[in-house]
Amino acid sequence: MIEKSIYKTYKKELYSPFVRAVKEFEMIKENDRVAVCISGGKDSFLLALLMKNFQKYSGTKFEVEYILMNPGYSKEDFDKTVTNAALLDIKINTFDTTIFDIVKDKDNPCYLCAKQRRGHLYAFAKSLNCNKIALGHHYDDVIGTIMLNLFYNGSYQSMMPKLRSKNFDNMELIRPLYFVRERDIIRWANYNNLNFIACGGCPLSKMQNKSMRLKVKEMLNDLEKENQFIIKNIFNSAQNVYLDSVIKHKRNGKVTHFLDEYS
């Protein structure tokens, strides 16, 4: 019933935008072997269920592996994640790392954690003969990334729907939840009385002040209450960039200035 609710109760909010992203950005092709990365949170578990169904009924021949990295979870969080995987009938491959211990004393632990996670996930997926990893980043993560880069990096950069790995040959990252709103994932989880771990089970999140991403998220929630189109407009801005009105832009490491073509 949990799985069926995705395609019946929440088809418009979850399944349809998932399929749209997979097809629009050509994320999955014939004979792909995709490693779906389980973090223990609501997003990655929803992604796993969507991928399982898509594999059965899409008509595209591809294989799926479900992988769970343990970066240093508490026993309670790890056991909860394994229990949820069994509940949702997801057969997971697990492996251990010491990422939490490595990053706990660093200045920017969240950034380093994400970077190290990605490397370990690529490596383990490749050992399973996969050519792609699928992550559970959703629509609101895309918005957050755009705003974080504007506010804290002084640059305009979006979270891309798919990326080729720079460090692992013939490996690619895909984000099939690209068009799925987080609020709809929460509604689905609550509807089914599901309880997942938060923020990848990171123990550091309890000791730190609000992260920059969380602060931006709260700000955007307030703005959306005043104007329902705010979030959609930010998302669409990444597809409506007018280079004629940009002073400088960078592509493949090459910087182009508007004065280069002004005359």
Q: What is the pLDDT of residues 52-85, one digit of tens each?
A: 999 999 999 999 999 999 888 889 999 999 999 9
Q: Which two tokens stand for residue 149?
A: 């880069």
Q: What are the pLDDT digits (tens) for 124-173?
A: 999 999 999 999 999 999 999 999 999 999 999 999 999 999 999 999 99
What residues contact 259, with CB distance under 8 A and at least 6 apart? Answer: none
Helix, coil or strand: residue 234: helix
Closest CA to 139 of 175, 171, 85: 175
For the chain, the domains span 2-208
SS3 category, 38: strand
At residue 257, the 3 state secondary structure works out as strand
Residue 15: both structure tokens together = 């399944």
Give Cβ neighbours of residue 15 (< 8 Å, ≥ 6 apart): 6, 7, 50, 53
Strand order in the sheet with 33-38: 92-96, 63-70, 33-38, 132-134, 172-174, 162-164
User: 184-187 contacts: CB < 8 A, separation 24 or more?
Assistant: 184/10, 184/13, 184/14, 185/14, 185/42, 185/43, 185/46, 185/138, 186/42, 187/10, 187/13
What values do phi and psi take at 136, rounded to 5? Answer: -90, 25
- Using one digit for the tens of pLDDT, what is the confidence trace for 201-260? 565 554 454 578 888 999 999 999 999 999 999 999 999 999 999 999 999 999 999 999
Cα–Cα distance, 100 to 120 (Å, whole number): 13
Helix axes 139-148, 230-237, angle to 10 degrees: 70
Whether the model clears a pTM of 0.75, i.e. scores above it, the answer is yes
Compare 105 and 250 and report the one with higher pLDDT: 250
Domain covering 2-208 in this structure, CATH number: 3.40.50.620
Q: How many residues does the chain have?
A: 263
Is pLDDT at 195 greater than 60 in this prediction?
A: yes
Beta strand pairing call for 162-164 and 33-38: unpaired
Which structure tokens are listed for 131? 């050519």
**Half-sphere exposure of 160 toward its Cβ, with a 13 Å CA cutoff?**
10
